[in-house]
């Protein structure tokens, strides 16, 4: 079995994670020339191109495999440091370049996930959270760029294990002022086309799915505006931009105060969430799994059988 230079593997991962050679060089504290030399040496050893020189650069199929290997090496170092800390407290810490990456959907970040990870970060885990739509976070795991993800995908990916986290319920809201002027009777089959809906991005289909469920329609076409932030979506709604479908957890206080109005009080959209991670014997993975599943279990609903 071939062995690969650790610095060259980290160089490849850094180029992809940072989006280019120059920023990778800054992160690794080497020259850009050194980054290029390490990549060329690795490509020569593998015998194929590892990067597509686009903007940003993207890994080839072989590149993704080696990046996953680099991530696994980071995990081994993280496990070793954790074990050493237990034996000799204060005897070292993980380097920033040994960052542990996971992908979590923005709505979970804005509600329950960050408090769950606080203890691990305070203990020195160099955590990187990558955010994406909940239907697409698993693609980061599939490509080997993260060791775990929170997603709506139920089926375990190859080489991974999956744990149900619970159900996040979504509601349709608008500001009290906007609702009284534009939809005083709430969301109906007759007015939804006139209401601009604020979505996270073009991948976000929660808005159309909710309206279809609330109005009893198979297909709906909405006027949409895009704000790539869960908190930003709520602020846009409060500012009168239109309506949005957001986690009930996120807006409970605003609904109680009357600042926001539930446009379809008889309808919620349940979204099942799952934690996927590499199926490896790892202290770090076990602690991440315990932290996320514990926090999710405290606030998310239990799926109906």
Q: Is residue 125 included in any domain, yes or no?
A: no
User: Among the three residues 76, 98, 120, which one is the final residue of a domain in this structure?
Assistant: 98
Q: Is the pTM of this model over 0.75?
A: yes
Name the pairing type of β-strands 160-175 and 269-278. antiparallel
Q: Is residue 25 included in any domain, yes or no?
A: yes
Q: Could you tell me the CATH number of the domain that includes residue 229?
A: 3.40.190.10
Tell me, what's the pLDDT at 32? 92
Q: Is residue 278 included in any domain, yes or no?
A: no
Tens digit of pLDDT for each residue in 71-92?
888 888 888 877 776 665 554 5
Tell me which H or E stretch contains 173.
strand 160-175
Q: Within this chain, do residues 78 and 171 fall inside the same structural domain, yes or no?
A: no
In whole angstroms, give the CA distance from residue 7 to residue 17. Answer: 15
pLDDT beyond 90 at 263: yes
**Per the structure, how many domains does the chain have?**
2
Query: Which pLDDT band holds residue 120 (cuts at 50, 70, 90)?
Result: very high
Q: Could you tell me the CATH number of the domain that includes residue 65?
A: 1.10.10.10
> Containing domain of residue 81, as a range?
1-98
Q: Is residue 265 included in any domain, yes or no?
A: yes
Q: Are 62 and 46 in contact (CB under 8 A)?
A: yes
User: Among the three residues 98, 117, 148, which one is the final residue of a domain in this structure?
Assistant: 98
pLDDT beyond 60 at 62: yes
Tell me, what's the pLDDT at 305? 53
In whole angstroms, give the CA distance from residue 51 to residue 63. Answer: 6
Tell me, what's the pLDDT at 96? 59
DSSP assignment of 191-241, as one string?
A: TGGGSEEEESSTT--HHHHHHHHHHT-S----EEEE-S-HHHHHHHHHTTS
Q: Is residue 281 included in any domain, yes or no?
A: no
Tens digit of pLDDT for each residue in 138-193?
889 988 889 999 999 999 988 899 999 999 999 999 999 999 999 999 999 999 99
Q: What percent of the chain has pLDDT over 70?
A: 95
pLDDT beyond 60 at 231: yes
């Amino acid at each position: 079995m071939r062995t690969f230079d650790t610095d060259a593997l980290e160089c490849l991962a850094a180029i992809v994670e940072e989006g280019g050679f120059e920023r990778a060089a800054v992160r690794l504290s080497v020259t850009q020339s050194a980054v290029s030399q390490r990549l060329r040496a690795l490509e020569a050893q593998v015998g194929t191109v590892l990067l597509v020189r686009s903007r940003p650069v993207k890994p080839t199929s072989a590149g993704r495999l080696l990046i996953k290997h680099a991530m696994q090496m980071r995990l081994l170092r993280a496990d070793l440091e954790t074990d050493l800390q237990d034996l000799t407290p204060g005897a070292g810490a993980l380097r920033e370049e040994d960052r542990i990456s996971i992908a979590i959907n923005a709505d979970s970040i804005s509600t329950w996930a960050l408090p769950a990870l606080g203890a691990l970060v305070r203990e020195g885990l160099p955590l990187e959270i990558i955010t994406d739509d909940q239907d697409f976070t698993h693609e980061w795991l599939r490509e080997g760029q993260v060791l775990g993800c929170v997603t709506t995908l139920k089926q375990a990916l190859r080489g991974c294990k999956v744990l149900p986290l619970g159900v996040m319920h979504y509601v349709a809201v608008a500001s009290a002022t906007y609702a009284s002027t534009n939809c005083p009777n709430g969301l109906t089959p007759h007015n939804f086309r006139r209401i601009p809906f604020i979505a996270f991005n073009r991948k976000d289909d929660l808005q159309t799915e909710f309206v279809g469920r609330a109005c009893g329609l198979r297909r709906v076409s909405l006027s949409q505006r895009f704000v790539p932030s869960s908190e930003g979506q709520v602020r846009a709604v409060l500012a009168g931009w239109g309506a949005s479908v957001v986690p009930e957890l996120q807006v409970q206080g605003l609904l109680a105060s009357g600042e926001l109005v539930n446009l379809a009080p008889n309808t919620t959209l349940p979204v099942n969430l799952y934690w996927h991670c590499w199926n490896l014997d790892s202290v770090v993975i076990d602690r991440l799994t315990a932290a996320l599943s514990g926090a999710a279990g405290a606030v998310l609903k239990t799926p109906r059988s």
